[in-house]
Chains A and B, each alone.
Chain A
Amino acid sequence: MQSMSDMDWGIMAPEWVIAIACALLIVVDLFLKNTASRRWIGFLSLLAVGMAGGWVITQFRHKSAMILDGAYILAPYTLIWKIILLTGAALVLLVSLGQEKKEYEPHEGEYYYLLLTAVLGGMIVVSTADLIGLYTGLELLSLSSYILVGIQKKKNRSNEAAWKYVVLGGVSSAFILYGMSFLYGLTGTTHVGEIQKQLSQVGSSYEAYVYLSFFLMMVGFGFKLASAPFHTWAPDVYQGAPTPITSFLAIVSKSVTFALVLIVYMAYAGPYGEFQEDMIILFMIMATLSMIIGNTVALRQTNVKRMMAYSSIAHAGYVLVAVATGNQILIPIVFFYLFVYLFMTIGVFAVIALVAEQEKSEDLKAFAGLYHRSPLLALSMSVFLLSLAGIPVTAGFFGKFYIIMGALELNHIWLIAVMIVTTIISYYYYFAVIRQMYFRRPASSDPVRVSWPMKVAIGISLIATMGIGIMPQFVLETLQSLLR
């Protein structure tokens, strides 16, 4: 075995940057006067995320490497995951900095470095192939998110949301851990690659354990993904959390769980033909239910954040369609969809944060006449919503189009049918917001004040959403060539 100092710890640089920034900011926050502004802690966090992201980009030139036999992996796919996470975190930080009245006033410092630890947890998850590493990373992400959801202590709704999230999150972690323990019991190793080898050797008499462990883990992942039938916590938590945190849950937590699903998928990729088919059927059931429940229940919502929660359940369903096809060729498509979803979701939540802050209401009616008050804001919101709905020639449309083409190759016709029908249903509630913005009279005619970090966040999201919509093939081919 190599000695500790011989190992190439430099490849962990992005994680180091985030961890060190976190530690420094905690100490700085401690010595700061109580009355001092915590705002620049947010800017320093943004700087740290930016540095980590820059480092990740330079690592694309580094050849694939690993520390401690898979405890930490540097490969193109881990780097793409990290770019998704860090971009999401940076935009969430910008939106948080852009809010005029902080929803989490006395704990602004904590808010920023808990976001950093959450991202760190996510980065650990995507870059390991060891069950223990996966689990600790996931817990770091979850624990930080629980606190962030409940950070508005004076709001009852926030407390309720945090409480639900802790209890159900804890239960889902227990399910994941229980499933992992059966895998360890069967194979005697926690390394995903080793598990795959060992699983193909265990006799078919132990097949029931393989099913049990997979089923248990999928229940846990279903909770974390907020995919039906384990979605019931999502609307309450999304509504109760501070708006930037809601977008963080929808983007970063969800992407990390998809990474986890794909990594665990590899562990089962060996053993039996029949098991593979059953595994795919389970994914398909979850995907179908998520699409149907998410899109139909969203029709009845009047609270925008709640509506977006159901929309995000539906989107988890769309991505699960790509996962369900169980085809490695579809990995770039999953990445493509998550990138698109990241930008349009951040954009929508940034606008929601602005409008909700100034109208003091998260109701659909708060958007009435937004076009007459702030035309640019209303236009960008329309672009994001159209893209989420998947109207042709937007980024969201191409995301769905690629998923459908992938599913078509594998002949999952009814899955595609469900996807198309529910997409059309979803037009109704996305257009409800657009209708409010253009065809209803505003309650007041003052324009919505937009602070500069908000402008940057919305601008980046807008450019990215439109850019991907204009040249989707280029983005997809770039992803494919990076993964090769």
Chain B
Amino acid sequence: MNINGEFIAFFIFSVLAIGGAVFMINLTRVMHMALALAFTFFSIAGLYVLLDAPFLAVIQILIYTGAVSILMIFGIMLTKHKDEDKVAPFTVHKLLSLLGVGGFLAIVIWIIYRNPFFSTGEPQAAAFKVTDLGKAMFKTYMIPFEVTSILLLVALIGAIVLAKREEKK
């Protein structure tokens, strides 16, 4: 394996992404969790750059690292919550879940390593233009795009219905 800049960058970003996810699960304070998650989002943007998808990387930073993280932090600040989360004890149930998930991971990795995708041929990402993305989104996938807008509306209504405090009559 030749060690070049790309490999080092990939290594750093993937360690950050996985580390952020692990910390997110293991930390006990909500605010720390949000920050750990922001780290994961950011490192995934780095991975997109390495995969020759700079547009996706910018979007990832704008929406996930920026908007979603800030929104979560606002949500935490504006609601009453128990700041500290107790660490749950390790039970047999957890051990079984761990074994199940570990087994699934092993199977997926085994399948992927046995027959890697795109082992031959040059990647053609360079031919990509943002206009293509726009065409795909507003032409080929126009109906799902519109459905998504209704989906967001439903999510908004649902959030209001479930979170609104009733006035006393």
Contact = CB atoms under 8 A, between A and B. Distances in A.
Pair from one complex: yes
Interface of A: 1, 4, 19, 22, 26, 67-69, 71-72, 106-107, 110, 113-114, 117, 120-121, 124, 128, 130, 132-133, 135-137, 139-140, 143-144, 146-147, 150-151, 153, 162, 185, 205-206, 208-209, 212
B141 A71 contact: yes
Contact of B162 (A137, A139, A150): A150
Interface string B121-154: 0000000000000000001111110011011011
Contacts of A205: 115
Nearest to A140: B151
B143 A124 contact: yes
Contacts of B1: none
Given A68-B139, A143-B151, A136 B144 contact: yes
Secondary structure call for the A interface: helix
B90 interface: no
| Smallest CB-CB A-B distances: 7 pairs | A147-B158, A136-B144, A136-B147, A208-B111, A132-B144, A133-B144, A140-B151
Nearest to A162: B162
Given A143-B151, A153-B162, A208-B115, 20 more contacts: A1-B139, A68-B142, A71-B140, A71-B143, A72-B143, A110-B157, A114-B154, A117-B150, A121-B151, A130-B144, A133-B141, A140-B154, A143-B158, A144-B154, A147-B162, A208-B114, A209-B111, A209-B115, A212-B107, A212-B111
A121 B147 contact: yes
A106 B143 contact: no
B56 interface: no
B74 interface: no
B60 to A, nearest CB: 17
Nearest to B159: A147
A151 B160 CA distance: 11
A2 to B, nearest CB: 10
Contact of B147 (A68, A107, A110, A133): A133
A133 B150 CA distance: 13
B154 A107 contact: no
A130 B136 CA distance: 13
Interface in B11-27: none
B161 interface: yes
B154 A68 contact: no
A151 B143 CA distance: 29
Interface in B42-74: none
B158 A146 contact: yes
A96 B141 CA distance: 35
Given A147-B158, A147-B161, A132 B141 contact: yes
A143 B142 CA distance: 20
B98 interface: no
B53 to A, nearest CB: 15
Given A124-B143, A133-B147, A209-B115, A106 B166 contact: yes
A206 B157 CA distance: 44
Contacts of B151: 121, 136, 139-140, 143
Given A139-B151, A140-B151, A143-B154, A110 B161 contact: yes
> Chain A CB within 10 Å — which of B115, B144, B151, B153 has the most?
B144
9 contacts: A68-B143, A71-B141, A71-B143, A110-B161, A143-B154, A151-B161, A153-B162, A185-B117, A209-B111
A206 to B, nearest CB: 6
A475 B162 CA distance: 43
A442 B151 CA distance: 47
A239 to B, nearest CB: 19
Nearest to A105: B166
Nearest to A68: B140
B108 interface: yes
B162 to A, nearest CB: 6
A209 B143 CA distance: 29
Contacts of A22: 150
A114 B150 CA distance: 11
Contact of B161 (A107, A120, A130, A139): A107
B155 interface: yes
Contact of B150 (A72, A106, A130, A140): A140
B150 A128 contact: no
B154 A147 contact: yes
Contact of B157 (A121, A137, A147, A212): A147
B111 A140 contact: no
